[in-house]
Structure 1
Amino acid sequence: MALLKIEDIIAKKEELRAQAGEQKCLVYCEKLGGEFEAHSLSKGDLADVRSKMKDSYLEGIKYLIYMSIDDLRSPQLLEAYECKTNSVKIVGRLFPKENEVGAIGEILMDLNGLGQLKPGEIYRKEIEDLKN
């Protein structure tokens, strides 16, 4: 790898700006027979998710799912699943198994930049390595 130059960093400006904006993905659910559209959250919403995760990791993940998939906040859906008074409960009703919640949560954490980095994405190089 080459040492970055200011020009290289400037050339990546638009690409980095796009990555910082709202990200979207589809989350496929076999048992429901389709996909949900999910989006990344604002910094404020992510702070709320982190706060809930401190109290209960599982409840924080459910809140992440609830906030990331707009369809889950549909009044019709909440009424049909009897979740109007505690709307986050819809996540548990649709995905009663903890591994389902975990799998969706992992996808959404990656979407929000909270997941693990892939090996080799960012790492430390010793100065001696740079000289060679």
Structure 2
Amino acid sequence: MSTALPEYYFRVRDNGAFVFRVDTENRQRRIDMDQIAVVNIRNGEIRAHGDRELSSRDLAEIKAWMDERSETLARREVDDIHRAVDHLNLTTHWVQSRASDAQLDEVTDALLMAMHDLRSVLVRKKADRLMRQRKD
């Protein structure tokens, strides 16, 4: 484990983070975290906290974190979809082999509607992609 602490700490929240500058250079030798900004990943907004002015280094570190975080979230999103495909397969097996009539009565309509909606969107999106490929 490294003994050096990072200069910045990002407390993740739903659509971004609170950004703190980490300070260990004080008389008590304790870790101080001073909030310097709030970041919104969705719209790219970086707001200085309070009356602070962010340095060019602060902005560079925040933007680098935002880029890395966006890539991480994109990878997770695709991974979640692959997991959903696995879960659909497991659901199919459950329906075929273990589900009781009462359990099927409870979930069938919701599953059919969700699957119909998903299928409709997938078919439309695939048709759009094929049409664009033909134009190119």
Structure with the bigger RCO (C-alpha within 8 Å, sep 6+) is: 1
- Tell me the TM-score normalised to structure 2 length: 0.28
- Tell me the TM-score normalised to structure 1 length: 0.29
Name the larger-Rg structure: 2
